[in-house]
Structure 1
Amino acid sequence: MPAPHNPFKAALATKTPQIGLWVSSAEASIAELLTSTGFDWMVLDGEHAPNDLRSLRDQLMVVEPSPSHGVVRIPVGEAWMVKQVLDAGAQTVLIPMVDTADEARDMASAMRYPPEGIRGMGASGGRVSHFGAIADYVATANDQVCLVVQAESRKALENLDEILSVDGVDGVFIGPADLSADMGYPGNAGAPEVQEAIADALQRIHASDKAAGILVQDLGAAQRFLDLGATFIAVGIDTVMFAKAARKLSADAKALL
C-alpha cells in the first residue's frame, strides 16, 4: 500500500483554486467542528498559536478523514521540526520566514527521504504509516509530501526568482503582516507600497511552476488576489471569527436592555 494521495499537492500542481482557513485555536474539537464547514484546507498554526506536537497530532487526527486538508505550519524552518510533524501525520508543511533559495532547498531536503533528502527513517512506528500498516510508505512518501514556503520580507522578495527555481517547493505563500512590518508599515498591510509588492510577487509566482498563496480577512481582497494569480487563499482566522461573532452577539443582546 502506498502513501495516501495528497489532494492539496495535486491541486497546487494544476493551480486549481483552494479556499482555506487559518486555525489558531489549538484545539482538536474546534478543528473537528471546522472540518464540517467546507474549507478545502486549514492551516494548523504552530508558529503563533499555542500548539505543540501533541496538539498538532490531535488536530491532524480529526482533519485527516474529512474533506479538508490539514496544512501544518511549524514555528521555524528546522529539519527536526519538519521530521516530527511529518511523522505525526502531516503531508503538507508550511515554513515561515524563508528568505533565500538555500533555506528553501534545506526545507525541501528535510521533507524527503534519501537519496532525495535527509528525512530520518522512523515512519514505521508512527501514525503517518498507520503504525506500519502502509508497507510502502517510505518508498512512496516523497511523491505525496507538499512543501510551501513563506516569503514575508523584502529579502525574500528580492530572492523570489531563485526561491521559485528550487525543486521540491510546491508553493510560495506571501505573508502580508510580516512583509508590511519589514517594509516599514507595521500593522498596515493595506499600504499602497505593500500591496504593490504583494501583487508583483503573486504574479511572479503564478508565472512559474509553483502555486501562489496568501492570507486575507475580507473577500474583496480574496477576489483581487485570485485575479492576480493566487491559487490557495486563506480567507479568515478562526479565533478572530469567533471573537467578532461573540462580541457582536454580546453587544446586540445588551442593546435589548
Structure 2
Amino acid sequence: MPIRLTLPPTLGERIAASDRPLVGAWSCAGSATNAEIIAGSGLDVVLIDAEHSPADLESVLAQLQAVAAYPVAPIVRPPFGDTVTLKRYLDVGVQNLLVPMVDTAEQAAGIVRAVRYPPLGVRGVGSSLARSSRWNRIEGYLGDADSTISVFVQIESATAMADLEEILAVDGVDGVFFGPADLAASMGLLGQQEHPDVVGAVLAGIAAATAAGVPSGVNAFVPAAADRYVAAGASLVIVGADVALLARSTEALADRFIGQRPTDAADDADAPRPSY
C-alpha cells in the first residue's frame, strides 16, 4: 500500500498562526545548495526566484526538494503569471506563489483562476503525474487543492497602486507583496527606493492591506527600512538575497585584505545598499 502523505501549511496559514511578522531571504542563484543554506539559517521563509535569476523549472524543483527537510515556508516567484507557467509550477509542488507584475484586479482574478481546478478555475488536471499531489499519495488532493496553495501578487507599479483596493478584494488573493525597486521606477524614480514618495506609497499600501484584512509583504534589504515596514504592519519582510549577501561579503573581504576597490573611489563603500 502506498504511504498516505500530507502537505505542509501554506504561507497564508503560517502568517495567520504567527504572533510576529515572518522574515525571509531570496534564493536567486538557482542553487539548491544556497536555498538549503538559507532554509537552515533560522529564517522563516526562502523566496525562490525564477523571474530575475537563471533558475528554470528543474532548478526550482531541486530547491524545493532541498528545503523540504527544514521548517521554512518556500515561496516561488515564477517569471510570469500566465496559465501554462503557473500550471507547471504548481505541478512540481509549488504551494506558495508570488506572481510578479500584477497591475489590475482583472489580472489578479485571472491568476486565481489559473491555480484552481474547474469549475472554479482553469488549472489543467495532471495530479497523478505530478509532485503537487505526491503522485496521488495526498488523499483527496483534487478536492482540497485550493487549501494547499497560497497566492501572493506583487504590487510594483503606480498602476497597481491605483488599483490596489480592487486587487485586495479579489477572492483567492491571499496576500500582496510590495516591490519598492520597480515601484520607484514606475514613478519616475529609478533606483530611489528610499525616496519619500516611494516609501509613502508602500506605507499606504500596507495600511490598505491591513484595513482589508489581507497580509502584506515587502522587500527591504536595509535594516532600517525593514524595521519601518514591520512597524507599519507588514506580515512578511524579505531582508536579503543569497547573491547580494555573497557580493557584499566578498567585497568586504577584498576591502579588508587588499584595500579599497577602484570602483569605490567615487562612492562611499559604507553607504547602505538599496532595497531590491
Please report the TM-score for the alignment, with normalisation by the length of structure 1: 0.95
Query: 1:227 aligns to what?
Result: 231
Task: Quote the Cα distance in structure 1 between the aligned partners of 2:175 and 2:118.
Answer: 22
Residue in structure 2 matching 1:67, options 64, 68, 71: 71
- Asked if 1:11 corresponds to 2:10, the answer is no
Deviations 1:191-237 (A, max 9, x none): 11111111111111111121010001122111110111100110011
Aligned counterparts, 1:161-176, within 5 A: 161-176=165-180
Q: How many pairs does the alignment contain?
A: 255
Query: 2:28 aligns to what?
Result: 24
Q: Is the 8 A contact 2:26 2:47 kept in 1?
A: yes
Aligned counterparts, 1:115-194, within 5 A: 115-194=119-198
Identity value in percent: 36
Task: Quote the Cα distance in structure 1 between the aligned partners of 2:121 and 2:7.
Answer: 20
Please tell me the residue identity of whatever aligns with 1:149: V
Residue in structure 1 matching 2:61, options 50, 57, 60: 57
Please tell me the residue identity of whatever aligns with 2:7: P
Deviation at 1:39, TM superposition (A): 1.2
Q: Is the 8 A contact 1:13 1:170 kept in 2?
A: no
* Runs of at least 4 residues off by over 4 Å: none
Q: Is the 8 A contact 2:10 2:150 kept in 1?
A: no
Deviation at 1:13, TM superposition (A): 3.8
RMSD of the alignment, in Å? 1.4
Task: Quote the Cα distance in structure 2 between the aligned partners of 1:2 and 1:143.
Answer: 15
Task: Quote the Cα distance in structure 2 between the aligned partners of 1:191 and 1:185.
Answer: 8
> Relative CO higher for 1 or 2, CA cutoff 8 Å, sep ≥ 6?
1
Please tell me the residue identity of whatever aligns with 1:55: S
Please tell me the residue identity of whatever aligns with 2:149: V
- Asked if 1:237 corresponds to 2:241, the answer is yes
Please tell me the residue identity of whatever aligns with 1:203: A
Q: Is the 8 A contact 1:148 1:172 kept in 2?
A: yes
Please tell me the residue identity of whatever aligns with 2:56: D
Residue in structure 1 matching 2:206, options 197, 202, 206: 202
Deviation at 1:96, TM superposition (A): 0.6
Task: Quote the Cα distance in structure 2 between the aligned partners of 1:128 and 1:64.
Answer: 13
Q: Is the 8 A contact 2:10 2:96 kept in 1?
A: no
Query: 2:94 aligns to what?
Result: 90
Task: Quote the Cα distance in structure 2 between the aligned partners of 1:178 and 1:95.
Answer: 14
Deviations 1:226-254 (A, max 9, x none): 11110011001110101111111122122
Deviations 1:17-72 (A, max 9, x none): 11010111111111112211011111110100111110101101111221111111
Please tell me the residue identity of whatever aligns with 1:215: N
Secondary structure of the structure 2 residue equivalent to 1:235: strand
Please tell me the residue identity of whatever aligns with 2:51: E
Residue in structure 1 matching 2:222, options 218, 221, 245: 218
Query: 2:43 aligns to what?
Result: 39
Query: 2:250 aligns to what?
Result: 246
Q: Is the 8 A contact 2:5 2:137 kept in 1?
A: no
Deviation at 1:7, TM superposition (A): 4.1
Q: Is the 8 A contact 2:10 2:149 kept in 1?
A: no
Uncovered stretches (5+) of structure 1, i.e. residues with no partner = none
Task: Quote the Cα distance in structure 2 between the aligned partners of 1:222 and 1:207.
Answer: 20
Please tell me the residue identity of whatever aligns with 2:226: A
